[in-house]
Amino acid sequence: MKKELTIGLFGFGVVGQGLHQVISQTKGIKASIKKIVIKHADKNRTLPKQHFTTDANDVLYDPDINVIVELIDDAQAAFSIVKQALQNGKDVVTANKKMLAENLEEIYELQKITFKSVLYEGSVCGSIPIIRNLEEYYDNDLITSIEGIFNGSTNYILTKIFEEKKSYASALTKAQELGFAESNPDLDVLGFDPKFKLIIAIAHTFGVFVKPEQVINLGIANITDTDVRFARENGFTIKLIARAFKQGGKIYGFVAPQLVSQQHTLYSVRNEFNAVQVEGAFAEKQLFVGKGAGSFPTASAVLSDISALNYHYQYEYKKRTQGAVPEFTNALQVEALVSFEKGKGITKDSFEHFQEGYAWQGQEILRGFITLEKLADIAKQPGISILLAPDARLNPIKIKQEAEAII
């Protein structure tokens, strides 16, 4: 039976306004927004003042409101809202990937206790319906990997750099003007945003809850003009790729920029578009592509979750019940290129297996296999750029079992 939804909305920024417009134009969905919680009462709004309040309790404790839609930036405040809403017997829709990545296991437990739903399709790759596909379409498939372009802002920046030969700074500024990147773009360009999304996807792909501090993220901020020329002259582009895969009963996952050849499925994914490639034992490789930045793509995903609540939908986290939950680890060797100016102290001995080195336009470029954790440490040094090799090989490190003590 279709459930009538009365919504309390937190946040009326780009996505919140997009959602209000989408709901008002969508027929067939039994939902209405009763009240919107905002931070600044004196700010000019597109709706009359009676629609707004600055008191969260006006919404959280309103018995007529049965769904909370949370669309604010503050992850800590967002979690408090979600937790209180569940405890008050209200379903929740959110698109806050940082909040979810930091608190997903507790949210999972709260849903079991309260018998209420928290849906968050809009938190991962904008308009691409990846979470529900992982839950439903792939519920019994043995997924081996998931990877893709999980951040529209950086993909837009890289597209402009390669196709229009814009500088990194001008491409970033344009992304901010269009609302694809925040005024403080570090979450995007340092790879934190796609990491948060990857953590959420891992929970529904492999049934594993991972904390942000466990997942290594390398961004695009240190990519140089020399890197771009090297890629272009060798027929590559650069994409920021989030990936996770299962091998030998363990889960590996990280975010890093990579040289991508024209034959790669992600090569032609441009501008603010996201892409997710899922590989399963039965379905094999399937690619999902859609807009990942902007008000309406995310708002459409939020609306999809609201519509699902009309039919009492809940995530079942099915992968957690299909056998033993695997362990997440960073014990991985990756094939990478490290570029730097002379004198940085990076040598072929930094690699587990050194392949080759170049001196190219004033830069040193070393290529080989290096542990993921060592690569992350090197990336912290200023003036060093990291790129995964084209079609990079990723080799799990076998941890030797300690011999049992002989008593």
Residues involved in catalysis? 197
CA atoms within 13 A on the CB side of 54: 5
Check residue 43 and report its DSSP letter: S
Q: What is the DSSP string of 253-282?
A: EEEEEEEEETTSTTTT--TTEEEEEEEETT
Describe the crossing of helices 295-309 and 14-25 by its angle, rounded to 10 degrees: 60
Tell me if 280 sits within 8 A of 141, measured CB to CB: yes
**CA pair distance 142, 322, nearest whole angstrom:** 10
Check residue 311 and report its DSSP letter: T
Q: For residue 189, what are its two tokens?
A: 């360009």
Q: Residue 347: phi, psi to the nearest 5?
A: -130, 175
Local structure of 109: helix, strand or coil: helix
> Residue 85 contacts by C-beta under 8 Å, 6 or more apart in sequence?
60, 68, 70, 91, 92, 116
Strands of 71-150, DSSP E: 91-94, 118-119, 143-149
Q: What is the DSSP string of 332-354?
A: EEEEEEEEE-TTS---GGGSSEE
Handedness of CA 191, 158, 371, 263 (dihedral sign): positive
Q: Which residue has tokens 């240190």?
A: 222
How many other CB atoms are found less than 10 A from the CB of residue 369? 18
Local structure of 316: helix, strand or coil: coil
Local structure of 137: helix, strand or coil: helix
Q: For residue 336, what are its two tokens?
A: 């990478």
Tell me if 190 sits within 8 A of 221, measured CB to CB: yes
